[in-house]
Every structure is written in C-alpha cells, then in structure tokens.
Amino acid sequence: MTVACVSRQSPPGKKRELVLENFAPYRIVSLGHAISGRLAQAYRNESITIPEWRVLAVVAQATRLASRDVVKMTPMDKMTVSRAVASLEEKSLVKRTPNENDRRLSMLSLSEEGRALFDRVASLALQFEDNLLAALEDEEAALFRSALKKLEEQVHGMDGDAISKISEEAPRRGL
C-alpha cells in the first residue's frame, strides 16, 4: 500500500509518496540502531549491556545523579534504567546512596571500578566516533552536528499533539 500526501515539498498538483528508505525519521532510527549495535562491540568485552553503558555514561557526567534524571537524559524507560542500575550496582560499578533532602530518592555515582571501566570504554567510544565521522569532511561533520542539534531542538519543541494537529488539518490541505 502506498501512502501519498500533498505537502510543502510536493510540486503543485503532485502528491508526495512515503518511501520508507527515504523517510527521515525511519533513517535516523535505523542509523541509531546500527551505530549502537556496532558501538556495543566496544564494551561487550567489559561484560556490560547497551542500557548499562548508557547509564554509566550519564552518571559519569555528574558527581551524583538520581535515577529519574538518568531516565530524562536517555532514550530509555524507567524500567530499563532501573534494571541497568541494579545490574551495575550488583557488579560494583555504581553506588547508590540516599538523598539527604528527599529520602525517597537515591543518588547514583560511579565506584572506582565504574570510573575505570567508563574511562576505558569512553576511549574506545571516542575512537569509534572518530572512525564513523571520518566518512565526512570537517565541514560536513560540523554541518552534521549542527543539523542534529536543530532536529533535536525541533522535536523537543513539538508538543505531544503535533501529529493530532496535522491529522486535523489533513482534510483541509487535501491530504
């Protein structure tokens, strides 16, 4: 089944078709999964998973951090973060301490072993990034980073009703 719509990018009187391999959101997700999977090879030897690495990386950026803040800073849900934190704690890579201001919250920090592991993997991750971006000229890499920032700002600026609004306007625009 082909889906077509009239949009700003369509020439007058022509409908634009959704072709999955050209659809930007699909391509971004596919690229993200491919990169994440390849990067996971860098820390597979350290016996940590992708969610554990993400938690380690976020916690490494702060002295102490609440789990709920890790959820806000990663593309992972609360349950995935909770499991990753529990596993990292079991492996003695993350320490959990009570929050002095709110006993319902626990604060996360890296243990010495966690910091050492993060440093090793971060070095590999940065080498991986260098190799990945080597496909781009310096100017292209700068434009890529700028475009990513703009897209992140755009998507975070969209309210949850963005698709609903588009759906409501579709009949009026001939979609």
- Mutual orientation of helices 112-133 and 24-44 as an angle, nearest 10°? 130
User: Does residue 114 have a pLDDT over 90?
Assistant: yes
pLDDT recorded at residue 1 = 44
What residue segments make up the domains of the chain, in order of their start?
24-121
User: Does residue 116 have a pLDDT over 60?
Assistant: yes
User: Does residue 18 have a pLDDT over 80?
Assistant: yes
> Does the pTM of the predicted model rise above 0.85?
no
**Residue pair 84/52 in contact by the 8 Å Cβ criterion:** yes
User: Does residue 7 have a pLDDT over 90?
Assistant: no
Average pLDDT along the chain: 86
Those residues with Cβ within 8 angstroms of residue 92's Cβ, 6 or more apart along the chain or in another chain: 111, 113, 114
Phi, psi of 98 (to 5 degrees): -65, 150
Q: Comparing 9-13, 48-52, 136-140, which segment has the lowest mean pLDDT?
A: 9-13
Whole-angstrom distance, CA of residue 54 vs CA of residue 85: 10
pLDDT tens column, 32-87? 999 988 988 888 888 999 999 999 999 999 888 888 899 889 889 999 999 999 99
pLDDT recorded at residue 168 = 65
The CATH number given to 24-121 is: 1.10.10.10
Q: Which residue has the tokens 């003695």?
A: 92
What is the share, in percent, of the chain residues with pLDDT greater than 70?
83
